[in-house]
Chain A
């Protein structure tokens, strides 16, 4: 949907070709990479959701994992107990999570800043408790198992099939978010983040839009959680604990709060970083000997990166990359014949 400008079209086509052909390549790593891509795509959707809430609207949430859990449970319950098909379950996951999100967002009428963040943290713990103890629905700590639906005789959680599903949905999520911030709703979110009082005084119903932000954010989280459930085929309360929420906050911080592609970069980064560290540590393993050091090292690097980003690049990877990108394109522009007018200042929000 208008993703490409005239200039970007070759790249877009190349990307499309890589996207479609890659799953059929036969590297040793193809399947594993597909797995990582799938996990990243799910994370992208979740991170976009959190970014709408936290990055754009300025409401800190430590409950993203809980919301994703609601989505995952919705899918699991609908497909095992009711037996509905996927094309109903995934939107349903989004909608149910939206409702939960609105409830969780209600304290934002009175609570601000860290106090609101704490109420989302409370929601995270409460949801976990509900997952664990509403046994007639969730089967408690044992969790629910689903049999993934089949597409052309192949289970949807087959890495290759799922790849097309998850990446397409992730792209849709990106486009949806981009469009959202072209219109009044998105602008209202940013206004609330920048100065909620002024927003209210110029006629924005701040409370309503905070709830809308919670709703959209949790819709994304719900869909991401639902996808996760289809991919993993199991959901139990351990799957979405606080540390996952923190990972998501880290994604948008590292990627860039309040930026569209920040969510994407952040998700890629946070999903792949542990892999890279793992590989690095495996190379160093003969020297280090102790296996748990790489878990420790992963944690340390993760922490250091968060700190470094906040101290030196508070605007995240999106800013870094756009700086790099503009440097490259500046050079190119100098070389190019000047047959084009000045570049548009269009995407100022990004």
Chain B
């Protein structure tokens, strides 16, 4: 029992980071119908930018963070303006591949700039940790949990009540209609990418803080796909819940199932679970069913 509690706590802590990164993917899908395979790379590059500003340029931490988010936002804007804008209405696979292409470019760029070493990430968070049920939870996890919860609430309200959020939803549903309603679809998309890029950066900073910084950090982009799909591609709450579920599931599978099946079952556990859920609920736990018309 004690072990189970520890397992769950461990799962939820890592799950909160998954949630945060998955939120970005959902956000983009919700407002533009694009499935972003470059999310992982945005996470990694965001982390590297902070590293560069703090360690290489030796700027104060708060200033660096502010600058990082600025640069990340700009990056998101550029991606939207120079690539995805041309792909409005393109097929799903084109969109997937174009974001993969962007991901390759970003990974390559980071590799060319920083090389493929491990870097020690600067201590941005106070070295504070809590003992919860026998697991030492460092402040980074608390921050990421907090961040994903706050963002969850903010985005939920944003989409439900704010004019901008409503426009985003309208634009994603029907771009032509949105134009008729006087919503600048372009501005909305641009904004989404800026926000997503910033969210990814936050995820990157947190993720790099709990391990070393490396170009391979972008792999997280793939890890969160089961999260996103599980929750439902267009559900913000789904991303958060999915993150916590997948985190816990991985932990449970790693501790209880892997010894019997052998190997690293943890990694596929989320995919197995995902397949089962999809066969029962083809649009994820909270996703909206697409209605087809003749």
Query: A residues engaging B (CB < 8 A)?
Result: 54, 60, 107, 110-115, 117-119, 121-122, 125-126, 129, 132-133, 135, 197-198, 242, 246, 249-250, 253, 257, 290, 292-293, 295-307, 310-311, 314
CB within 8 Å for A292 and B100 given contacts A115-B229, A129-B263, A303-B105: no
Q: Nearest chain B CB to A251's CB is how many angstroms away? A: 11
The reply to whether B278 and A293 contact each other, CB–CB distance below 8 Å, is no
User: 26 A-B Cβ contacts within 8 A?
Assistant: A60-B93, A107-B279, A112-B290, A114-B229, A115-B278, A118-B278, A119-B278, A122-B271, A122-B274, A129-B264, A132-B264, A246-B100, A249-B97, A292-B111, A295-B111, A296-B109, A298-B108, A300-B108, A302-B108, A303-B100, A303-B103, A306-B98, A307-B102, A307-B105, A311-B83, A311-B98
The reply to whether A299 and B107 contact each other, CB–CB distance below 8 Å, is yes
Q: How many A-B residue pairs have CB under 8 A?
A: 139
The reply to whether B263 and A132 contact each other, CB–CB distance below 8 Å, is yes
Interface size class on chain B is 35 or more
A132, A296, A310: the one within 8 Å of B94 (CB): A310
* Stretch from B84-92, B141-149, B199-207 forming part of the interface with A: B84-92
The reply to whether B101 and A310 contact each other, CB–CB distance below 8 Å, is yes
A sample of 18 more A-B contacts (CB under 8 A), given A292-B111, A295-B108, is A60-B96, A115-B229, A117-B96, A119-B278, A121-B225, A126-B268, A132-B264, A133-B261, A197-B294, A198-B294, A249-B93, A295-B111, A297-B112, A300-B104, A302-B104, A303-B105, A310-B98, A314-B94
CA distance A133 to B264 in the complex (A): 9
Query: B residues engaging A (CB < 8 A)?
Result: 35, 83, 86-87, 90, 92-94, 96-98, 100-109, 111-112, 115-116, 222, 225-226, 229, 233, 261-265, 267-268, 271-272, 274-275, 278-279, 282-284, 290, 292, 294
Measured between beta carbons, the chain B residues less than 8 angstroms from A125 are 267-268, 271
CB within 8 Å for A310 and B111 given contacts A107-B278, A121-B225: no
Q: Which 7 A-B pairs have the closest CB atoms?
A: A303-B104, A299-B108, A306-B101, A300-B108, A303-B105, A296-B112, A122-B271
Q: Nearest chain B CB to A109's CB is how many angstroms away? A: 9
The reply to whether B275 and A115 contact each other, CB–CB distance below 8 Å, is no
Measured between beta carbons, the chain B residues less than 8 angstroms from A292 are 111-112, 115-116
The reply to whether B97 and A253 contact each other, CB–CB distance below 8 Å, is yes
A115, A129, A290, A296: the one within 8 Å of B282 (CB): A115
CA distance A57 to B87 in the complex (A): 21
The reply to whether B97 and A306 contact each other, CB–CB distance below 8 Å, is yes
CA distance A295 to B104 in the complex (A): 11
CA distance A126 to B261 in the complex (A): 13
CA distance A197 to B267 in the complex (A): 36
Measured between beta carbons, the chain B residues less than 8 angstroms from A300 are 104-105, 108-109, 112
Measured between beta carbons, the chain A residues less than 8 angstroms from B264 are 129, 132
Residue of A nearest to B215 (CB): A296
Give chain A's interface secondary structure class: helix
Measured between beta carbons, the chain B residues less than 8 angstroms from A197 are 292, 294
The reply to whether B102 and A310 contact each other, CB–CB distance below 8 Å, is no
Q: Nearest chain A CB to B116's CB is how many angstroms away? A: 6
The reply to whether A303 and B278 contact each other, CB–CB distance below 8 Å, is no
Residue of A nearest to B95 (CB): A310
CA distance A28 to B69 in the complex (A): 53
CA distance A238 to B69 in the complex (A): 37
B102, B116, B222, B272: the one within 8 Å of A303 (CB): B102
The reply to whether A299 and B275 contact each other, CB–CB distance below 8 Å, is no
Residue of A nearest to B37 (CB): A246
CA distance A324 to B116 in the complex (A): 41
Q: Nearest chain A CB to B127's CB is how many angstroms away? A: 33
CB within 8 Å for A110 and B282 given contacts A299-B107, A307-B83: yes
The reply to whether B92 and A114 contact each other, CB–CB distance below 8 Å, is yes
Q: Nearest chain B CB to A297's CB is how many angstroms away? A: 7
CB within 8 Å for A293 and B112 given contacts A302-B104, A307-B83, A311-B83: yes
CB within 8 Å for A304 and B105 given contacts A107-B275, A115-B229, A118-B278: yes
A112, A114, A122, A306: the one within 8 Å of B275 (CB): A122
The reply to whether B97 and A118 contact each other, CB–CB distance below 8 Å, is no
Measured between beta carbons, the chain B residues less than 8 angstroms from A198 are 294
Measured between beta carbons, the chain A residues less than 8 angstroms from B112 are 292-293, 296-297, 300
Measured between beta carbons, the chain B residues less than 8 angstroms from A306 are 97-98, 100-101, 104
The reply to whether B94 and A253 contact each other, CB–CB distance below 8 Å, is yes
Measured between beta carbons, the chain B residues less than 8 angstroms from A257 are 93
Measured between beta carbons, the chain B residues less than 8 angstroms from A250 are 97, 100
Measured between beta carbons, the chain B residues less than 8 angstroms from A122 are 226, 268, 271-272, 274-275
The reply to whether A296 and B108 contact each other, CB–CB distance below 8 Å, is yes
The reply to whether B111 and A114 contact each other, CB–CB distance below 8 Å, is no
Residue of A nearest to B294 (CB): A197
The reply to whether A111 and B282 contact each other, CB–CB distance below 8 Å, is yes
Measured between beta carbons, the chain B residues less than 8 angstroms from A112 are 282, 290
Residue of B nearest to A62 (CB): B96
The reply to whether B225 and A118 contact each other, CB–CB distance below 8 Å, is yes
CA distance A298 to B108 in the complex (A): 8
Measured between beta carbons, the chain B residues less than 8 angstroms from A117 are 92, 96
